[in-house]
Structure 1
């Protein structure tokens, strides 16, 4: 089996695989692209991780994740900015050009979404030039509105673009994830807007299954198991000039409980069939 050239496996999809086994499985299946996460990379060692994927000939499509930039308390804001600078440095060391940002939720006791989004913009004003000097593009990822309070005050692709467009396109773009935007009837127009402005930094896939599993954070469905017309979204992204890797990012406890090698093979096969 040789995986489709645009297929990228996000490390979180097969998080039961240690990084060396993930790299080995990618080689066995002909997968040439991988999206990495900071925590397992840090556990294995940044330099060791970079050498491992480089020696295997893998392209690191993204690093997840930076962000969580909504703090209003000065000490917490300073710490978040420092962590994001580290994330930018890690992305550069791994050879990717894209750092995915999850903006962060409302701080405890606060209810002003607009103010929280403005603090994200203020943080980007400091981080975008730093990223640009390292050749890294920050990709703002909108998350489904059910995560607005605790994880991400940016809930729509249009909101993500409103933030990104304040900065040069080569420094700040958006991450389009079908799981988070498929429900929004304004998202196709926002995707067109992102394409026209050269803002599509990365494109991710997961399906929406119902009923949602307990603990909705880990409720992403395997490709083809849910309600999203994945091929339509891929075609719309293509039509808007996105011709890069397409990551499959699944958070699913049931999938994680199984064999990681089989899961990766199944995901690659589903990509070819449904995307």
Structure 2
């Protein structure tokens, strides 16, 4: 299996060093020689949008994506419109930061009608596409693990995400492949091939056994059971050669010194990705 020989594609998804401010994450990337960063909107808001753009550009970093938009389903039309408005703000933020991709975590159902919620997701993306196109931002649908359907997203397989994305032009809407969420899927490799040019992002971490927590239980690459390199090779065979984000939700990782996390991240990236 082919190994990655350099860090040219490596991106720090900011949640991996959640205790760091955006400035600290930017400075940490510079010290570690990590060329890409994926900011989270709450960290951008803390620093201010213009200041966030300035500090990232001054550091010479590139922005792989902005996390996150989505969360489309809601109980009332007014709430759903408010979420569309927030997604438009997210698109503007992505454009200002130079991120070509806004990651969509599509949202849970507000009630028991999961089919209707999935319809609201499609409607929300449809409303967002023209605005995103005007700003040069592509929308990346990230399917989440089925265990998160009730709390975070009704889009739970790559096949679902592909079907949803295919309702729109490929230059507008694609998918994000996060190994933590999709590694288990018996249709994974056929769906990666199906996605092809629509793959807009690739996120890596690992699935720890036993799994401590469905949200905060991700491991550093190599600490779990995911065939990360095989998945990486599959997305490359499908045509994706963009940045690779390390996205780890884990309190023990968050509590560790950030520079140590980045050093381990680089080591495991070469070894397991």
Question: Structure 2: any 5+ residue segments left out of the alignment?
Answer: none
Note if 1:82 corresponds to 2:85.
yes
Determine which of 231, 237, 242 is the counterpart of 2:229.
Answer: 231
Distance in 2, matches of 1:24 and 1:116, equals 40
Q: TM-score, normalised by structure 2?
A: 0.96
Q: CA offsets per residue over residues 51-102 of structure 1, 9 Å max, x none?
A: 0000111000000000000114111101100000000000000001000000
Q: CA offsets per residue over residues 100-129 of structure 1, 9 Å max, x none?
A: 00010010xx22222111110011111011
3-state DSSP of counterpart to 2:223: coil
Counterparts in 2 of 1:1-275, with a 5 A limit?
Answer: 4-107=7-110, 110-195=111-196, 198-213=197-212, 215-275=213-273
Residue 22 of structure 1 and its aligned partner are, at CA, apart by 1.5
Distance in 1, matches of 2:242 and 2:256, equals 29
Judge conservation of contact 2:28–2:258 (CA < 8 Å) in 1.
Answer: no
Question: Structure 1: any 5+ residue segments left out of the alignment?
Answer: none
Q: Would you say how many aligned residue pairs link Structure 1 and Structure 2? A: 269
Distance in 2, matches of 1:3 and 1:239, equals 19
Q: Which runs of 4+ in 1 moved over 2 A?
A: none
Judge conservation of contact 1:3–1:269 (CA < 8 Å) in 2.
Answer: no
What do you get for the CA RMSD once the two structures are aligned?
A: 1.1
Distance in 1, matches of 2:12 and 2:68, equals 15
3-state DSSP of counterpart to 2:94: helix
Judge conservation of contact 1:209–1:219 (CA < 8 Å) in 2.
Answer: yes
